[in-house]
Amino acid sequence: DTGVSQNPRHKITKRGQNVTFRCDPISEHNRLYWYRQTLGQGPEFLTYFQNEAQLEKSRLLSDRFSAERPKGSFSTLEIQRTEQGDSAMYLCASSPQSGLSYNEQFFGPGTRLTVL
């Protein structure tokens, strides 16, 4: 399977704990995006990487959130001191930098976070 993969698929944690999610994009895609989706809403942009450079962060991404893409391949999203309001589906997407599909983003299955 050469699509975007995300791990874990589900995460249940207690308030105040730290969690980390991983995203593996499509191998030839150098753009990688993180979105968050809550019930009844569409995905909301969190942050964007081109290769290893983090080019944009949403104001939704508080100081408790950090994302990395150290070698321009996989990415991690860490949430420190989780709060119940962090409960959501965290989606990762990737796209190529050029070519016919460069405006199209391909999504992974998401990581469902539940904070108790």
Partner 1 sequence: DQQVKQNSPSLSVQEGRISILNCDYTNSMFDYFLWYKKYPAEGPTFLISISSIKDKNEDGRFTVFLNKSAKHLSLHIVPSQPGDSAVYFCAASLGGANSKLTFGKGITLSVRP
Instruction: Using CB under 8 A, list all residues that contact partner 1.
Output: 4, 6, 31, 33, 35, 40-45, 48, 55-56, 91, 93, 95, 102-110, 112
Minimum Å gap between C-beta 81 and partner 1 is 26
How far CA 89 is from CA of 12, 53, 100, in Å, comes to 12, 24, 29
Is the CB of 44 or the CB of 52 nearer to partner 1? 44
- Provide the residue count of the chain: 116
DSSP, res 31: E
Question: From the CB of 103, what's the least distance to partner 1, in Å?
Answer: 5
Report, in Å, the least distance between residue 62 CB and partner 1. 18
| Residue 68 vs 96, nearer CB to partner 1 | 96
Residues 33, 43 contacting (CB under 8 angstroms): no
Residues in Cβ contact with 42 at an 8 Å cutoff, skipping those fewer than 6 apart: none
Helix, strand or coil for residue 15?
A: coil
Q: Which is nearer to partner 1, 80 or 106 (CB)?
A: 106
